[in-house]
Amino acid sequence: MGRKILFITTDQQRYDALGCNGGSVARTPVIDGLAANGLNYHRAYNQNTVCMPARSTMITGQYVRSHGVVMNGIPLPTDGPDVAAALRDRAGYRTALIGKAHFEPSSAPDQSYFENRAAREETTGPHRGFERMELAAHTGRAGRSLYHYPKWLAENHPDQVDGFFEYVTEKKEISSRGGGDTGLAQLWHNPIPRELYHTDWVADRAIDWLDSLPEEDDWFLWMSFPDPHHPWDPPQSELHRCPWRDLDLPEFYPGSREKIVEILSGKPRHWLEWYEGKGQFNYEVPPLFRPHELTPDQVREVNAMVHVENELIDEACGKVLDRIGARGWAGDTDVFYTTDHGEMQGDMGFLFKGPYHVDSLMRVPMIWRPAPNAGVTPQNISEPVGHLDLAPTFCQIAGIDPDAGMEGAPLPPSANSGRERVLTEWDSNYLGNELRMRSIYRDGHVCTAYEKTNYYSGDEGELYDLNEDPLQWRNLWDDPAYAGLRSDLLADLHDNLPAPRDTPLKPVALV
């Protein structure tokens, strides 16, 4: 027997959501324990700040411009690297993905992709290197695609389906409606019993798959929780964990509208235009939501909901880890924990995500608890790493060479690795507003270049000194004192970006 791999992902979770990363509200003892007994990468960045590009990077080990999924709605090609297939075919691993996949667009009109049709056709794979896929997204309703979780809920607990928020973004009034106590868009009180909610369903289905395996098998399990992504509708019975009226406003919330406008006025113009409701720049937000209408109480309530969802995820992880221990696998199981991208949660006066290259969206939790029998010393690591480093690390654990097309490198097992930079990109054209952004994190600075499009001239950008300005409120792009640093970072950025695909891929749906 070799080493097993449990790969845990969440969706839209901030770096500071966890106690081990400075979070002080949600209780996350299980994940904090993984960090304390493993490697906690404090400067991990995604390669794109929305779901499909980020997840495609995780499975391929490639930059976004290489695998081609530069935005939501583009299905990941099947001719590139696939770490699950590599582990299965070249190392004999059993493979499964339980929860949210999102390598294929949910809203594809003809519902022709495996992820759209699998539950309807009562199949669980194989697909994309996984012998088994059981899929869930952000609701217990069928929505744009019937996944396995809403099918299971409708068949076994039909009275619970309508308790979920109706997450249908094609209907503006429905997808933008408010609930909870403060009327915030996509915030909802859900009467579903906690044990039927998708967080526990993902954990339960993961345990059932593990229990189906012989003791001697090596396995790779991607356990992918849909939370804390909006809509925010955890079981109402759990809201006592974090009463929103008792919650302080987060430090990253600027407070007054005047302060927010002051901060945004120093950034490229799409920041302020979205805040004031004068423009929209990505599909992945409720279409009628206007950030300038966000109230302090709504910031408190959405943060409380997110903290509740984070606690439920932590407890679900604990349940699966306990089962791994009961099967006798604890000593030779590597556990990884990350998310695809972050969430504003009031940062800059915003919610949701989009073309905003700041730490609330780019910086992600990344924890690797190596198998105890591997003998790796626990430590905190501050050198930059990225999602594209995950697939090569999985290959290294399995004792196989990474696919030739993988562009990342195995995660460093100790500090002082010599890692220097990590890159993040954005490409979109929504409602005629074309944005193309390239960012580098290096030496405590984030520098973002805006390419020439129909919206920007190509001279705009952002530069932040995270040591002096961790909230990224002061844009140093045009500060003469930082001109030399800006030039150096831009040269480093462009020297390390791989060439794009010869023919860009086109979206077939919106998300």
- Tell me: pLDDT of 493 over 90: yes
What phi and psi values does residue 173 have, to the nearest 5 degrees? -65, -35
Of 310, 366, 316, 371, nearest in space to 341 by CA: 366
| Residue whose token pair is 């959501």 | 17
Mean pLDDT value across residues 264-289? 95
Tell whether the model's pLDDT for residue 408 goes beyond 80. Answer: yes
* The predicted structure's pLDDT at residue 169: 59
Q: Which helix (H) or strand (E) holds 165?
A: none
What percentage of the chain carries pLDDT values higher than 90? 94
pLDDT at 261: 98
Locate tokens 């001697």: which residue? 216
* pLDDT score recorded for residue 143: 80
**Predicted local distance difference test score (pLDDT) of residue 174:** 79
For residue 117, give the nearest of 151, 153, 94, 141 by alpha carbon: 151
Cα 115 from Cα 113, distance rounded (Å): 5
- Contact present, 251 and 471 (Cβ < 8 Å): yes
Comparing CA positions, the residue from 53, 63, 18 lying closest to residue 501 is 63
CA 466 to chain centroid = 22
Single-letter amino acid, residue 55:
R
Beta strands 4-11 and 219-228, pairing class = parallel
Q: Mean pLDDT across the chain, nearest whole number?
A: 96
3-state secondary structure of 207: helix
Instruction: Report pLDDT digits (tens) over 122-173.
Output: 999 999 999 999 999 999 999 878 999 999 999 999 999 999 998 765 678 8
Residue 59 near residue 128, CB atoms below 8 Å: yes
List the domains of the chain with CATH numbers.
4-411 (3.40.720.10)
Strands (E) in 159-292, as ranges, are 178-179, 184-185, 219-228
pTM of the model: 0.98
> Cα-flanking dihedrals φ and ψ of residue 487, to 5°?
-60, -40
230-249 mean pLDDT: 98
CA distances from 156 to 144, 153, 190, 193, 377 (A): 20, 5, 18, 13, 46
Spatial separation of the C-alpha atoms in residues 355 and 78, rounded to whole Å: 27
Burial 439-471 (b: 16+ CB within 10 A, else e): bbbbeebbbbbbeebebbeeebbbbbbbeeeeb
pLDDT band at 199 (very low <50, low <70, confident <90, very high): very high
pLDDT tens readout for residues 128-139: 999 999 999 999
Contact 226, 100 (CB under 8 A): yes
> pLDDT band at 1, cuts 50/70/90?
low
Beta bridge partners of 445: 442, 465
In whole angstroms, give the CA distance from residue 292 to residue 278. Answer: 11
Q: What is the mean pLDDT of residues 41-56?
A: 98
Region 463-473: mean pLDDT is: 98
Q: Quick one: what percent of the chain has pLDDT higher than 70?
A: 99
Q: Is pLDDT of 2 > 90?
A: no
Find the DSSP H helices in 381-478: 390-398
pLDDT at residue number 167: 79
284: left (phi over 0), alpha (psi -120 to 50) or beta: alpha
Listed residue (150, 151, 182) closest to 166, CA to CA: 150
Query: Other C-beta atoms within 10 Å of 492: how many?
Result: 17
In angstroms, the CA 22 to CA 15 distance is 9
Note the pLDDT tens digit of each residue in 66-122: 999 999 999 999 999 999 999 999 999 999 999 999 999 988 878 889 999 999 999
Whether residue 358 has pLDDT greater than 80? yes
Nearest one of 73, 46, 47, 304 to 180, comparing CA atoms? 304
Rounded CA separation 173/168 (Å): 10
From edge to edge, which strands make up the β-sheet containing 385-386? Answer: 363-364, 44-45, 385-386
